[in-house]
Each structure stands twice: as C-alpha cells, then as structure tokens.
Structure 1
Amino acid sequence: MALETRVLQADEWDVWYDHLELAFGGVPESSEERDLYKSLTEHERSLAVWDGDTCVGSAGAFSFRLSVPGGALVPAAGVTMVGVAPTHRRRGVLTSLMRRQMDDFRAGGEPLAVLTASEPAIYGRFGYGTGTYSLAVDIDTTRVRLSVPPGTDELRLRLVDPEKALPECERVYAELVSRRPGMTARQPLWERLALLDPPSMRAGGSPLKCVVAEREDGAVVGYARYRVKADWDLTGSEGKVLVNDLDALDPAAEAALWRYLFEIDLTWSVRATKRPVDDPVLHLVSDVRRARPMTRDSLHVRLVDLPAALEARTYGAPLDVVVEVEDTFCPWNEGRWRLSADAKGEARCVRTADPADLELSVRELGSAYLGGITLTSLAAAGRVRELRAGALTEASRAFAGDVAPWLPHGF
C-alpha cells in the first residue's frame, strides 16, 4: 500500500503522538507534559505519514522568532516531533518529510529553520549545521568557592512559588532575548514549559523550587529554578542541587543566585545543564576543574532563504566577500553571492557573477550564522575553502559574535 503524507488533523493528534513516543523508545510521557505539547502543537504545520490507518512518520514545526547577532528577532521554523516507525526505515519517509517542510518554510517566508537533534548525524545531509553548544557543570561545592562582584550583597533573595513568580521571571527572560543570539522569544503557552514538574522529570529530586533576586525597590533582576535531591550515607548528607534554569540581568544578580545555590544546606554539589558555553559561573568559581565543564551540540541551524537570512543579522566588521555556496537540498540557495556589510554591520546579499572568494556549503553557513562557531575553525577542518588570500579572516571576524549563542531550552 502506498504511503500517504498529509497535514495533521486535530482528532488525529493522540495517534500521531503515540507514534512519536514509540519512535523515541516507547516510554509514555506524563499527562502533564503530553497535555502541554498538545496545546503547543500547530496542527497546520504538523505532518503525518500514514500506512493505511497506522501513523508511521511525523514532523512538525513551531513558529519561533529567533534572536540573531544585532538583536533582531527573525522568523524561524522550529522543527520538532520528527520520527519514523522502525517498521518503515529506508523507504524515504524522513527525506520526504524534510523536503515537504523546506518547501513549506520557503513558501511561508521563513528565512531560517532550527532544531535540536536526538541524533545529530541525521540532519547534516539536509543542510543543518551545529550553530550553538550548551554547557553542563557538576560543581563540587565542598571544594569550590565563589568570588562575587561588587553589589552582590545589596540584592535580596526571596523563595517564591514558581507559578506565582512566573510573570516576573518572564520579564527577565524577555529582556535577555535580544542580548544573546540563539534565544527564542516566548510565544503564548511556551512559558509553561519551564514549570513542567511531574515526578518523572525530577530525576529523584524535590518538586520545583524558585528563588528570585530583587533590588531594594523590589524589582526582580534574576531568578533560578531548581530541585534538591536529598541523599544520605553513613557519613551524612550527600545532597545535590539540580538547576533547571538561571537568568539574571546583571553580574551581581548572577553571582547572588549562584552563591545561593552553592550554600543550600545538606547539599554538596550543584549540577546545571543547558547553560551557555561562556557562562559567568566559569569565572566565578575558584577551581574550574572542580566544576567539571562539558559541552554538547544544541541548536542546529538551516538557512532556508540564504540572502534574507544573511541580511537579517548584523556583522562585527565591514565585509565584502563573494561566497560560492553548495546546497543540493535547496538549490535556490546555490551559486555565488556577494555579502557586504557596512561599518554599522548592516548587510546586503545579492547574486553575482564575480569570482568567488570562499567556497562552502549551506551547512557551514548555518554553523557560523549565530556567531559562535568561526569560519576559520571550519576551514581548519576543510569545510571552508579560501580562494582569495585574506577573505577567510575578513569573513570570520565579521561573522563572529561577542557572546556565545545559546538556546536555553529544547523544543
């Protein structure tokens, strides 16, 4: 029987999501998590592949606005819910879903597509490049001390109910979005993601807790949401602090929140994941080795409309370079493009017949797009080829950002 791909109907959602759970191992999610994603699903942007009455493939997209270098919020399709049934491997199901999505994104005027990959090796062939990394730390607080900046002691810390504090925390988050590329502006209901707290998500820890940092006037300038995992052995307590998220508007608030987490009674370590790779905590600790920093890939970036995407961000130095781009999956991006940026960082990208200065694929442009991965590092791996002397350094400096791009949460 021929497979049928069609847009998801509302009454098909449970079957569609059951298929997705099976594709990811078959462990049912909590009703709380499942209900939230049912509310977040954009049915008109969700695809299902059917073999008769059986759903055997899925892919969806969220309508995001992604921060890019310069602070602009650019429409981006957040690719999600991708799965193929184990009975239908090697039949072109995934490729057909990626093809349909890319054509839809282009028709909808979205310059970018982004995703987080359960298996990163899959998506490079569709033009996605690793655009951000995330940091995990597991800090031994019995052997590490913090050196905090002036003003830290002037802040008041207050334990609050995570639900009641949500509006204040969201105001902090919203102010940070334009400061760091890779963050997504919250769309309605997305604020609920940070409050998901079923026992299955606690990793043996307590219910979710929240602490806020306030100025003397009562303004909230930072927050941390966390759990405490109690543990005991014959020598006493072995508790851990499990940090879900920590956001702050200034260095003093950042340090105050970390110090609070370090000093929770009956705990001996602080573990945080999905942090920016340039997290200030790496410079606050007395011994970075005892923080056990580790990185992994996070957001993967795909330029759907190459000139529109490159013109949407700003650049850190004047630039005039011709790039020869390979993009077999989206051939409208292939060819030579002149990318120029003025002293203000504002850019123009147009087709040209002039000789190329650099050669690369759209995948490398996706990796360099948010400013965290340099073109020179990609060239060292043979992924970018310099055809005009000096062009690589010129372009790499212009693309690079002052802060590491960061995706605070998955989708």
Structure 2
Amino acid sequence: MEAVNAGEHLEVRAVEPDDQLAWLRASRRTFLHPKTVTPEHVEHRRTAWAGQRLTGAFDGDRVVGTYRSWDWPLPVPGGPGHELLTDHVSSVTVAPTHRRRGLLTRMITADLRAAKDRGVPMAHLVAGEAPIYGRYGFGPAVSGQTLEVRLPAPLAHLPAGAQDVRVELVEDADLRAEAPGLFAAVAVSRPGAVRRPERYWDEVLGLAPAPGEDGTDLRPALLARDATGAAVGVARYRTREKWEGMRHDTTLEVSDLFAATPAAQAALWQHLVSLDIVDRLRVTERPLDDPLPHLLADPRRALAGEGSDHFWARLLDVPAALAARGWLGPPGACVLEVHDALGLAGGRWRLEVADGRASVEASTATAGVACDLGALSAAYLGETPLVALAAAGRVRGEPASVARLSAQLAWQPTTWPTHTGF
C-alpha cells in the first residue's frame, strides 16, 4: 500500500518488520490490553502475520493507528461447498490523540478497494464500536446469545442416538488430535463460522502459549464419541468457584462447544448440566437456534442473557456474492438496486432465484427492491430478515417483492458466531 501524506507528519503505510513492536504496542494499548508487549510477543505473532497485511498510521516515528487484514474463506448459506473468499479485517485502532483526522477512513477504504481489485467478493470484521462501520457499508450479519442455566436443570428431551454417545472427561491438550478436524466438518454447514488455523489450536489448548503464559493450567474438557468410537463432539469449560459457610456458589463457564450430530450435542449438554457442586452454567456466543433450552424439562431454567452482533459483513462484489450462496424460499425474480456510498459495489441487477440457486445479471429496468449496501450485507448470511430492515426504512420497494426476497435470503441452520483465534 502506498504511503499517503496527510499534513506534515501523518502517513498511512505498510508496516515494516522494524515497526512491528511499536505497531503491536499501539494496537493493544488502544484495546486496553493490560500487559507489557515485548519483542517475544512479536516473534510469537510473526507466523500468523506472514500471510497477513499490516498497515499503520504514523505520526513521525510513532504508530497512532493500526489495521490488519488477510484473505480467508467463510462458509455462506448453502451447506458444504458454499464458501466465499473474504477480506478478514482486524486490529483496527486509532489512538485517542489522533481521532477524527481521517486515519481510519484512509486505512479501511484503501484496504477495501485493494480487496475488490483482487477479486475478493466480501469483507468482514468484529466491530468494537457499532456506529463506526455502518458508514463504510458494513452491516451486522452474525449474532450470538448468552445462555445462563440455573442448576439443577434435568433434560427431558433427547434426540435419537443420544444414549449411544459416550462422553469422556479429558484435558485441553487431549483434544489436539481430533478437535480441529471435527470443528472444520461442523463449521462448513454454518454460515459465518470462521475457519480456525492450526496455530489457534496450539495456543488455545496450551501447547504453544503466548509469552507470559506457561500453559500449565489444567483446563477440563469433554470429548464425545459415537458407538464406533469416532469423535463427534467437544466441549471446553472452566469453573468460577466460591464457597461461604461450606455452601458452594459455583459458575461453570463453557468456552466452546460443537458437535457433528444433535445426539452428540445433547449428550454434551446433559453432562454439563449434571456436574456436582455447580450452581449455574453460563455460555456465550451461542447461535440463535441453540437447542439447549428445548432439551430441558423446564426451559425457563435457561435464561437468554445479553445478545450481541458478532461479525459485520461488507459486500464488495454483489453479483459474485449472491451467486455463490444457496437460496431458500419461493422461486421468483426481482430487479435489485443497491446503493454504495463508497462507490465500490453499487448497481442494479435482475436477480432470479430457482432450485436453490440465483442468477444475477446487470439491468436497466426499474428496481422492485432498493437498499443501501449495509442492509444487503446484513441480510446476506441469512440471519437478518430483509423485511425487518424494510420496516426500519433501509429497504424500499413493493411489499410483496421485499417479502419474497427476504424469504429467499433466509437460511437454516442460522449463523454461528465462532471464535477465530487469529
């Protein structure tokens, strides 16, 4: 990325190896990271950075803004085989002393234009502040929920085959051989489930801890196996223990849970809600269609806590993105007009859906449905209903056309807000 001067000292440019320590310190300082960043932290990160683009905003020799992106596949609606190459954006910061001077706009617009030039159809990120990214065409496309279960909470409903699943109590390190492949097999069917690189597993399972972390903490985990002995489910958790007057007040925090079958998922939940001297279970970033409340004899024992957006998406090539995903709902066609304030992905197309596929061709006909790019990006992964965006005034058109397109964009299963570990 070429350096672009803005004033006497400010410039935005690619980060060189000698800049990386200052860049990492600036990024973590703005995110309020409490620990000292050392050269060892940079060495630990360089393996990941080798395939990524690091950009910095510099005021003289000081790093006052950071930005990182890399190309990475993302599952989209349609099931296995439906994947979209995306520009994955992260580490976006501007120092408090240098805000409102256009640094973020310069970093993000340059990156999005470069991604479009490479033929990447979509960008996505986790938004630390929700109001920031809408003006760049992003929309919240993947949400998650927090569930808190008051224990005891016996299960009353089990899918077929759950009784044949064997759950083993193991430690984190014992998952290394089987968890990555199982996660990959599960994630391909869930829109928005970001693939995890190999280094993620080494770090999170304590096999290659970051500097300052010795990896010796024992973390309990569960491994579910089917009748053949094949791994079909994984859960990782920790406990927050508190005792007063010999009475326990313990919270079990589930940090990860995924399974290849409903039976395996139910078996894992059954084990977790049955642990002794545990008073509540808390799990964050669960998909909106998580079956846990429906398994319980008393669904009110599982209280839905704070929900939140997780990933924000931004289409860069509307025809390519729409053609890459699968489609549900009734067959039919409409002329779709999309407005992009950055001028990267707007246009008008005739969109026809039939037999689970879409054809997209440029059109000059009058639009039946019109929206801003952020609205279409929010609806793209199938979670956000287009009709809800229409009720908010972000989608316009004939009510029947909007309703049909909304039904066509919807997808089951819903999105999955996974941890990425980059």
Fold shared by both chains (TM-score > 0.5): yes
Q: Is residue 397 from structure 1 mapped to residue 404 from structure 2 by the alignment?
A: no
Partner Cα separation in structure 2 for residue 227 and residue 200 of structure 1: 22
Q: Partner of 2:363 in structure 1? A: 352
Q: Is the 8 A contact 1:144 1:290 kept in 2?
A: no
Does residue 122 of structure 2 align to residue 112 of structure 1?
A: yes
Q: Which residue does 1:229 correspond to in 2?
A: 240
Q: Tell me if structure 2 keeps the 8 A contact 1:42–1:61.
A: no
- The answer to whether the 8 Å contact 2:248/2:278 transfers is yes
Q: Deviations over 1:80-113 (max 9, x none)?
A: 0000011111110011111111111112221110
Aligned twin of 1:48? 56
User: Are 2:163 and 1:150 equivalent residues in the alignment?
Assistant: no
**Structure 1 residues 378, 92: closer, same or farther in 2, change over 3 A?**
same
- After TM superposition, give the deviation of residue 175 of structure 1 in Å: 1.0
Structure 1 length-normalised TM: 0.92
CA distance in 2, matches of 1:271, 1:159: 19
Residues 361 and 298 (structure 1 numbering): CA distance in 2 closer, same or farther, change over 3 Å?
Answer: same
The CA deviation at 1:312 is: 1.0
Query: Offset at 1:164?
Result: 3.0
Give 1:36 deviation, angstroms: 5.3
Change (3 A) 1:192 1:363: farther
SS at match of 1:292: strand
Report the Cα distance in structure 2 between the residues aligned to 1:351 and 1:29, rounded to whole angstroms: 53
Offset at residue 138 of structure 1 (A): 1.3
Return the TM-score normalized by structure 2. Answer: 0.90
Matched residue of 1:170: which SS? helix
- Give deviations 1:137-183, integer Å, cap 9, x for gaps: 11111356453233222221112232232221112111112211111
Is the 2:153–2:273 Cα contact (8 Å) retained in structure 1? no
Matched, 1:103 2:113: yes
User: Aligned partners of 2:210, 2:221: CA distance in 1, in Å?
Assistant: 17
Cα shift at 1:208:
2.1
The letter for the 1-side match of 2:57 is V
1:325 aligns with 2:333: no
Matched residue type, 1:15: A
SS of 1:221 mapped into structure 2? strand
1:367 and 2:375 matched: no
**What residue number does 1:339 align with?**
351
Matched, 1:176 2:155: no
Amino acid at match of 2:70: F
Provide the rounded CA distance (Å) in 1 between the counterparts of 2:203 and 2:316: 27
Shift of 1:290: 2.8
Aligned 8 A contact 1:322 1:338 in 2: yes
Whichever residue aligns with residue 148 of structure 1, its letter is: L
1:178-257 alignment runs, 5 A limit? 178-192=188-202, 194-195=204-205, 207-257=218-268
- Residue 266 of structure 1: aligned partner: 277
Q: Does 1:20 align with 2:23?
A: no
Partner of 2:393: 382
- Unaligned 5+ segments in structure 2 are 1-7
Rounded to whole Å, the distance in 2 between the matches of 1:288 and 1:201 is 42
Q: AA paired with 1:65?
A: P
Are the aligned partners of 2:253 and 2:281 in contact in 1 as well (CA < 8 Å)?
yes
Q: 2:312 is matched by which residue type in structure 1?
A: H
Distance 2:211 2:394 in 1: 41
Q: For 2:287, give the aligned amino acid.
A: P
| Contact map agreement 2:83 2:325 (CA 8 A) in 1 | no
The alpha carbon displacement at 1:44 in A equals 5.0
Q: CA deviation at 1:220?
A: 0.6
Match of 1:68 in 2: 76
> Secondary structure of 2:269's partner?
helix
Quick check: 1:42–1:62 contact (8 Å CA) kept in 2?
no
Once the two structures are overlaid, the 10-residue window that deviates more, 62-71 or 27-36, is: 27-36
Q: Matches of 1:290 and 1:169 in 2, distance apart?
A: 29
Using the alignment, how far apart are the partners of 2:166 and 2:297 within structure 1?
24
Change (3 A) 1:2 1:34: closer
Aligned residues: 405
Matching residue of 1:314? 326
Give the direction of change, closer, same or farther, for the CA distance of 1:382–1:235 in structure 2 (3 Å limit): farther
Find the aligned partners of 2:26 and 2:135 in 1 and give their Cα distance.
24
Q: Find 1:59's aligned residue among 67, 73, 78.
A: 67
Structure 1 CA distance for aligned equivalents of residues 273 and 41 of structure 2: 30
Query: Would you say the 8 A contact 1:64–1:187 is kept in 2?
Result: no
- Report Cα offsets for 1:295-341 as digits up to 9, x if no partner: 11111000011111111112113231111111011x14223121122
CA distance 1:200–1:225, shift in 2 (3 Å)? farther
Question: Does 251-260 or 156-165 show the bigger shift?
Answer: 156-165
Deviation at 1:268, TM superposition (A): 1.0
Q: What SS is found at the alignment partner of 1:218?
A: coil
Distance 1:200 1:263 in 2: 36
- Offset of 1:21 from its aligned partner? 1.2
Whether the aligned pair in 2 keeps the contact of 1:243 and 1:271 (CA below 8 Å) is yes
Further displaced range: 39-48 or 391-400: 39-48
Measure, in 2, the Cα distance between the counterparts of 1:181 and 1:284. 24
Offset of 1:28 from its aligned partner? 2.2
Unaligned stretches of 5+ in structure 1? none
The one-letter amino acid paired with 2:108 is: M
Q: What's 1:408 paired with? A: 418
CA contact (8 A) 2:383 2:415 kept: yes
RMSD (CA atoms): 2.4
The Cα shift of 1:35 comes to: 6.2
State the shift of 1:33 in Å.
Answer: 7.9
Whether the aligned pair in 2 keeps the contact of 1:299 and 1:407 (CA below 8 Å) is yes
Secondary structure at the counterpart of residue 131 of structure 1:
strand
Work out the CA distance in 2 between the residues paired with 1:30 and 1:195. 22
